[in-house]
Amino acid sequence: MENVPEFKATVEISRKWDGNEVAEEIVNKIKNKNLNPKFILLFTTIHYKNEFEKILTGIKNGFQNSLLIGSTIAGFITSEGCFTRGVTALSVDYPNMEISVGIGRNTKKNPEKAALDCTAMIKDQKKQETWKNKLLLDIISATTVPQMFGKRTSVFIGNLPTAVLAKMLEVSTRRFQLGAGNIEIILDKLVENFKDRYIFGIGANDNNKFVSNYQFYNGNVEKNSVICLSISTDKKLFFNENIGGLKPTGKTLRITDKKLDGLLITKINDRPANDEFFNIMGWDKDTINENTLFRKILYYPFVYKENGALHPEIFGLFLGKSIACGNLMRGDDAEIYSSSGKNILESFRNLLPEKADLSIILSCSMILETLGREIYKIKKTLDEHSTCYLLIFSGPEHFYNPENNVFMNRVISNQVISFI
């Protein structure tokens, strides 16, 4: 009888504050499970930004032959609990798995080059892939609040022409690398080059303040980068996704003019976008400033259809008469949807397979903000499944499904990849 190799995976956490202690705790926990990891995915909340180097060095010293990649995120759920402050590491040890890794830098300045650099690195390492089930896990630096007139702000109400504001947004993004994540542009290239596999990833962010985010690549701390882990394996892969319990309200709108490849929406229903959005929502413009914006818009995503799937977005940037989401708008006919805690919780009910060796769930950090401590109810649902799991709250979240050629980068959604 053929020896079936054992798939070993473990998800460990640390709640220590000191980087050396975090690394020591995580290394010891992984070693206690008798794993010699092929790769380690490391995620930390932004509270550890002065400890990254200690954490990465410590873990790398503990597992010198293991690939180590990761990023900052808003929060996570494991079997040990729910956390918006801490460090988590997912390790996989399985002989019937080949991996290769790539990185591209300056994603905000030159997203196409970043994607192609990353792709080239992976293709250079890939020999003939033995196994037929393939996956590309990716982490891309997400949108950050841009710099306008020397100040970082997401609300700039003024009388400057749209063309001037659009140029300032472009300069902030391309020169200072503060602004749009350009994730769609990167994903376009990844999908073009890796059409034979699932693509599954997140925008790395912080604690929903969108000030800064970091990525980790083999012991180094990076910013504004795309990191991809290519996996081929004999383990079956299960993929599922949904929009996080959103329901339509009947309030529709048509985007009639866009700039910067769809990043900036200048007209809705042939009227200035800002004015028309407030009109549709029935809001007083004086109530919106950079402190109140997040609390207002969070519960009113708008959704459009893309490649036959639903694509939610939320407006996060008000610039003069224009508005922006942080991601590129690739659809024009949209509807305002609403979210409720009950519907969001329900969306996790049938997300995972009944049984798996490992499930990685990516969920939007807006869901975390909406539910607050009720995310313990998500944990209860996940615990009912027979699987080692890690749920990451970050965003935006994106996937490419080779079975139906659907590719999506969006917010307020959930997606899972499981190794069966």
Q: Does the footprint of other proteins cover residue 161 (CB under 8 A)?
A: no
Q: Does the footprint of other proteins cover residue 291 (CB under 8 A)?
A: yes
Q: Does the footprint of other proteins cover residue 314 (CB under 8 A)?
A: no
- Judged by CB under 8 A, the number of residues near other proteins is 24
Q: Does the footprint of other proteins cover residue 292 (CB under 8 A)?
A: yes
Contact code string over 200-229 relative to other proteins, x by CB under 8 A = -------xxx--------------------
Minimum distance from residue 76 beta carbon to other proteins (Å): 10
CB nearer other proteins, residue 74 or residue 388: 74
Q: Kindly indicate which of the ranges 33-41, 108-116, 142-150, 290-298 contains the residues binding other proteins, using the contact rule CB under 8 A.
A: 290-298
Q: What is the bridge-based pairing of β-strands 67-72 and 39-44?
A: parallel
d(CA 12, CA 193): 33
Among 176, 238, 278, 294, binds other proteins (CB under 8 A): 294
Q: Does the footprint of other proteins cover residue 75 (CB under 8 A)?
A: yes
Q: Does the footprint of other proteins cover residue 245 (CB under 8 A)?
A: no
Q: C-alpha 197: how far from its chain's center?
A: 18
Q: Does the footprint of other proteins cover residue 78 (CB under 8 A)?
A: no
Q: Kindly indicate which of the ranges 18-26, 98-106, 215-223, 289-297 contains the residues binding other proteins, using the contact rule CB under 8 A.
A: 289-297
For 102, half-sphere exposure in the C-beta direction (CA atoms, 13 angstrom radius) is: 22
Q: Kindly indicate which of the ranges 132-140, 182-190, 234-242, 368-376 contains the residues binding other proteins, using the contact rule CB under 8 A.
A: 368-376
Report how far apart, in Å, the C-alpha atoms of 299 and of each of 121, 211, 344, 367 are. 40, 21, 12, 10
CB-count exposure of residue 50 (10 Å: 0-12, 13-18, 19+): exposed
Minimum distance from residue 15 beta carbon to other proteins (Å): 8
Beta bridge partners of 97: 233
Minimum distance from residue 165 beta carbon to other proteins (Å): 25
Q: Does the footprint of other proteins cover residue 176 (CB under 8 A)?
A: no
Q: Are 384 and 102 in contact (CB under 8 A)?
A: no
CB nearer other proteins, residue 170 or residue 374: 374
Type of residue found at 74: A
Q: Got the DSSP string for 215-281?
A: EEETTEEESSEEEEEEEEESS-EEEEEEESS-EEEEEEEEEEEEEGGGTEEEEETTEEHHHHHHHHH
Q: What is the bridge-based pairing of β-strands 355-364 and 386-394?
A: parallel
Report the SS3 class of residue 346: helix
Q: Does the footprint of other proteins cover residue 376 (CB under 8 A)?
A: yes
Among 226, 368, 411, 412, binds other proteins (CB under 8 A): 368
Q: Does the footprint of other proteins cover residue 370 (CB under 8 A)?
A: yes
d(CA 26, CA 264): 43
Tokens found for residue 54:
């200690």
Q: Does the footprint of other proteins cover residue 17 (CB under 8 A)?
A: yes
**Residues forming the site for other proteins (CB under 8 A):** 17, 47, 74-75, 81-85, 207-209, 291-292, 294-295, 368-373, 375-376
